[in-house]
Structure 1
Amino acid sequence: MAKALIIGSGIAGIATAIRLAVQGYQVEVFEANSYPGGKLSEFEQDGFRFDAGPSLFTMPQYVDELFVLAGRNPKEFFSYQKLDKVCQYFYEDGTRLNAFADAELFAREVNNVTGEPVASVKKYLTNSATIYNITNHVFLEQSLHRLKTFLSRDTARSVLGLPGIDAFRTMHKANEGYFKDDRLVQFYDRYATYNGSNPYAAPATLNVIPHLEQHYGAYFPIGGMYSITGSLVKLAESLGVIFNYNSKVDEIMLDARKATGLKVGEKNINGDIIISNMDVWFTYQRLLKAHPKLFPRKILGQERSSSALIFYWGISRSFPELDLHNIFFSTDYKAEFDHIWKDKNIFHDPTIYLNISSKYKPDDAPASCENWFVMINVPANVGQEWDTLVATARENILKKLTRILGDDIESLILSETILDPRQIESKTSSYQGSLYGTSSNSRFAAFLRHANKSSKIKNLYFCGGSVHPGGGIPLCLLSAKIVSGWIADDFPQTS
């Protein structure tokens, strides 16, 4: 039985462990932290529970699939409910827009609020679906670095459909072409942030993202986002996967150009297959630092995605006008992104994302209170004066929320924890604190990520948000599917 060693227990590492265990491999996972999940973790403070990282759950079928592969009924281990309203949007001019999950209802809401024709919204969503249908089976669900991918009929159809992915203009230009109302253009520009990119630079191919949310829906996992991690770890353990916590990997051991195991503290652990769920930049710079000639220099030099500044606030009262997901838009979106990408700092009027899981899971906060996850997009860490930036951003966020919600928010804060790019990097081994590995701010950057298998080091594979097909829970789960399929071909198991 071949032995697989996985570095990191992020969602992709856990999913890869499950898939390999189902396929008959012996699997061990090594995690530097005392808990699993990577960014998809949780913490409790002063009676409040917070999901520390991702808070939007889409494409739940990719989680369900793991239970089905293991011969389990997903509903017995993991459950979730579909949201009727995906998100609530607040604009500085007083506009409030409800992003209903039902496409027809949403199109009518847009028409009522902005005056944009229902037909324009439907046309836009049809285009988003077209991009998805062209890219999904080839560019998202398979490796772009294997010959077999390009010999399939699906690939041929996708190649013929490439003009339809709208790669030669930016998201913003495309959105301006569909809508006259600036508020709706801003609404759709925001989807660039779902993979840490800039709508004024990223290709309109990324306008595929609204389809994932509108067509497949958004969900709330019963038990909160961390229940995804918890349920999958339990599944993996039931399949014989061994998780080693507080086990920082120091080195990937090589014999010539073949990965043979891991050095963890004073121990050398041998394995036939090595999979890194660590950010690919740190995989090379820390774990393979003795072998710089094997580094993929061009890929490691790519522009990183944006990061995040998060305030976890325990709030002393409830706000009925708020929902699970809330967005408070900046008055000048272009200036906000210029500050992030050109100036490498934070705009004085940032767009604020506010998630309140206690709306759906009341025990996440004491009675009559709410747990606020308050996030803004910020640049990756390149040595800025973060203490000053964080203090100023906090002041501006509080002013904005106080003005729009009509209450002194600072006076309501009972508990506070702050996460900035420096801690994101140190806690999750994400280079520069970037949330999604590299950005997608050039025409084909989304398709030029690091492969799921090393071309220079035998038996070394990669999964997670810093490699193909990209960041976010659904794509991380797909990376696990891709890498486990590749391993199955390279190391066929005999029953």
Structure 2
Amino acid sequence: MELSYGAWYIEGGIYKLIEALEKIIIQKNIEVKKDIKVSKINHKNNKVESVILNNGEEIKCDIVVSNVDPVITKSMLNNNVKIKNQSLSMSGLVLLVGTDKKFPELFHHNVIFSDNYENEFNEIFEQKKFPSDPTIYINCPTKTDKTLAPEGCESVFIMCNTPATEDTWGPNEIKNAVSKIRNKLVKQNLEKLIDDAKFIEVITPNDFEKKYAAPYGSIYGKVSHGFLGTIMRPSNKDKKIKGLYYVGGGVHPGGGTPIVIMSSGIVTQEIERDYV
């Protein structure tokens, strides 16, 4: 998609997209409930009946559109659903960094590749551990958008691939992973991103699971190894429960913000076809 249409940036950051969507929803007189989760989806005769919120409230409905991973959604239908981490894609370790100095050597998008790409993925998928020589993605949005940091400062997003596992990321695991990232940055004379940072927030696979209902922190849902795995993503429409639809990076057509938004367009067409 980037090769065909280029890489685009939303001024003010990606959250501006969320705010814009919320504004449209409210203009349509749709109620938005925040800081609450759906804990169960009730169905009868293979049709959606209602959802139960984690405060006990029940909302009657004919249609549910879920933007969490389809495996998690299916666990809301059936408590006996088992999640196997062997079938899941990667997770990520993210460092949100604030500096009080500029890094002219950085572009908006930067990638420092592992010296052994094959071994990196072996460690992630087979050994289920943070890679010894990680590929590092560095996003420095202040190269494009000066509003994201005070003058003379940088806002930096650093991400590395990690396995999606049920392991706990404690202080030692985080310290060891950040050390490996720093060692890689040293080779590019970028270690001051860590050493001189005025602010660092660490987001682990555990955080992805807790905040976004991503199974074991998996960012892209079911693993997509091979040619068919790339194109045969889980469907946007449940094959058994009428009225249940799926959007997001874990279903067709895949991950990445533009493609995730496309999934909502596909579901809209499906709902119109089924109900209008």
Structure 1 runs of 4+ off > 6 angstroms?
Answer: 299-302
CA shift in 2, pair 1:489/1:388, >3 Å: same
Counterparts of residues 42-121 of structure 1 (less than 5 Å): none
CA deviation after TM superposition for structure 1 residue 391, in Å: 1.4
Corresponding residue for 1:253?
A: 42
Query: Could you report, residue by residue, the CA deviation over 1:312-336 in whole angstroms, capped at 9, with x for unpaired residues?
Result: 1111210112111111122111111
Partner of 1:363: 147
Q: Distance in 1 between matches of 2:262 and 2:121?
A: 29
Give secondary structure in 2 for the equivalent of 1:405.
coil
Matches of 1:255 and 1:470, distance apart in 2: 30
Q: CA deviation at 1:408?
A: 3.8
The answer on whether the counterparts of 1:281 and 1:300 sit within 8 Å (CA) in structure 2 is: no
Find the partner of 1:401 among 178, 181, 185. Answer: 185
Work out which of the two has the higher radius of gyration on C-alpha atoms and give 1 or 2.
Answer: 1
Residues 168-207 of structure 1: per-residue CA shift (max 9 Å, x gap) = xxxxxxxxxxxxxxxxxxxxxxxxxxxxxxxxxxxxxxxx
Match of 1:276 in 2: 66
Q: Which runs of 5+ in 1 are unaligned?
A: 1-211
Seen in structure 2, the aligned counterparts of structure 1 residues 402 and 464 have a Cα distance that, compared at 3 Å, is same
Q: Does 1:445 align with 2:229?
A: yes
Q: How far apart are the structure 1 equivalents of 2:254 and 2:109?
A: 23
Instruction: Work out the CA distance in 2 between the residues paired with 1:350 and 1:300.
Output: 24
Opposite residue 269 of structure 1, the aligned amino acid is: I
Offset of 1:402 from its aligned partner?
Answer: 3.1
Q: State the alpha-carbon separation in 2 of the partners of residues 247 and 344 from structure 1.
A: 32
- 2:18 paired with 1:229: yes
Output one character per residue of 1:213-268: Cα deviation in whole Å (capped at 9) or x when no partner: 12210112112222121112212221222211022112112223211111122221
| One-letter amino acid of the structure 2 residue matched with residue 267 of structure 1 | E
Give 3-state SS (helix, strand or coil) of 2:259's partner.
helix
C-alpha contact 2:47 2:62 (8 A) present in aligned 1: no
Tell me how far 1:406 sits from its aligned partner.
Answer: 5.9
CA–CA distance in structure 2, aligned partners of residues 433 and 358 of structure 1: 28
1:400 and 1:464 map into 2 onto residues whose CA distance is 32
Q: State the aligned residue count.
A: 275
Report the Cα offset of residue 300 of structure 1. 7.4
Q: What SS is found at the alignment partner of 2:210?
A: helix
Distance in 2, matches of 1:281 and 1:407, equals 39
- Verify the 8 A CA contact 1:345 1:389 in the aligned structure 2: no
Partner letter of residue 126 of structure 2? K
* Contact 1:315/1:370 (8 A) holds in 2: yes
User: Do the aligned partners of 1:438 and 1:466 also contact (CA within 8 Å) in 2?
Assistant: yes
Give the C-alpha shift of residue 309 in structure 1.
0.2
Match of 1:337 among 121, 136, 145: 121
Is 1:275–1:463's contact at 8 Å kept on the other side of the alignment? yes
* In 1: Cα distance, 2:224 partner to 2:21 partner: 29
CA distance 1:465–1:327, shift in 2 (3 Å) = same
Length-normalised TM-score, structure 2: 0.91
Cα 1:462–1:310 change in 2 (3 A) is same
CA distance in 1, matches of 2:256, 2:31: 25
Alignment RMSD: 2.1
Q: CA deviation at 1:382?
A: 3.4
CA contact (8 A) 2:89 2:220 kept: yes
Alignment of 1:156-171 (within 5 A): none
1:116-265 paired onto structure 2 within 5 Å: 212-264=1-53, 265=55
Partners of 1:308 and 1:383 in 2: how far apart?
13
TM superposition shift of 1:302: 7.1
More helix by share: 1
| Structure 2: distance between partners of 1:300 and 1:243 | 33
Q: Does 1:411 align with 2:200?
A: no
